[in-house]
Amino acid sequence: MLDMKWIREHADEVEEVAKQKKMNMSLRELLDADDKRRELITKVEKLRGQRNAGSEKVGLLMREGRKEEANQYREDIRELGVSIAQMEKTLSEVEQDYDRLKMLVPNIVSQDTPIGESDADNVLVRQEGEVKEWDFPIKDHIQLGELHELFDVPRGVKVAGSRSYYLKGDGVLLHRAVQQLALDIVMKHGFTPMEVPVMVREEALVNTGFFPTGRDQTYALEGENKFLVGTSEVPLISYYAGEVIDVTEPIRLAAVSTSFRSEVGSAGRDVRGLYRVHQFAKVEMVVLTEANAKVSEQVLQEITGYAEELLQALELPYRVMAVCTGDMSQKTYKQYDIETWMPSRQAYGETHSSSNLHDFQARRSEIRYRDADGNLKYVHTLNNTAVASPRILIPLLENHQMEDGSIYIPKALRPYMGGKDKIMSGPQA
- 81-85: Cβ within 8 A, 24+ apart: 81/51, 83/47, 84/44, 84/47, 84/48, 84/51
Q: How far is CA 291 from the centre of its chain?
A: 19
Q: How far apart are CA 342 and CA 355, in angstroms?
A: 23
Q: Check 261, 363, 364, 368 and give the catalytic one.
A: 261
Q: Closest Cα partner for 360 from 194, 231, 237, 230?
A: 237
Q: Is 276 a catalytic residue?
A: yes
Query: How far is residue 327 from each of residues 21, 245, 334, 336, measured CA to CA in Å?
Result: 7, 32, 11, 11
Phi-psi region of 335 (alpha: psi -120 to 50; beta: other; left: phi over 0): beta
Q: Check 51, 363, 368, 391 and give the catalytic one.
A: 391
Q: Check 8, 74, 215, 276 and give the catalytic one.
A: 276
User: Which residues, in sequence order, are bridge partners of residue 43?
Assistant: none
- Return the SS3 of 166: strand
Segments of 174-221 assigned E as strands: 192-194, 199-201, 219-221
Q: How far apart are CA 423 and CA 362, in angstroms?
A: 46
- Return phi, psi of residue 197, to 5°: -70, 140
Q: How far apart are CA 291 and CA 186, in angstroms?
A: 23
Q: Is 350 a catalytic residue?
A: yes
Q: Check 353, 355, 389, 406 and give the catalytic one.
A: 353
Question: Residue 270: which H helix or E strand, with range?
Answer: none
Q: How far apart are CA 426 and CA 394, in angstroms?
A: 19
In 103-152, where does DSSP find H-type helix? 141-148
Q: How far apart are CA 343 and CA 123, in angstroms?
A: 21
Please say whether the beta carbons of 382 and 286 come within 8 A.
Answer: yes
What single letter denotes the amino acid at residue 16?
Answer: E
The contacts of residue 281 (CB under 8 Å, 6+ apart) are: 175, 179, 256, 257, 258, 259, 388, 389, 390
Q: Is 155 a catalytic residue?
A: no
Q: Is 353 a catalytic residue?
A: yes
Measure the CA dihedral 48/53/55/57, to 10°.
-160
Please say whether the beta carbons of 198 and 235 come within 8 A.
Answer: yes
Would you name the residues annotated as active-site residues? 261, 276, 350, 353, 391
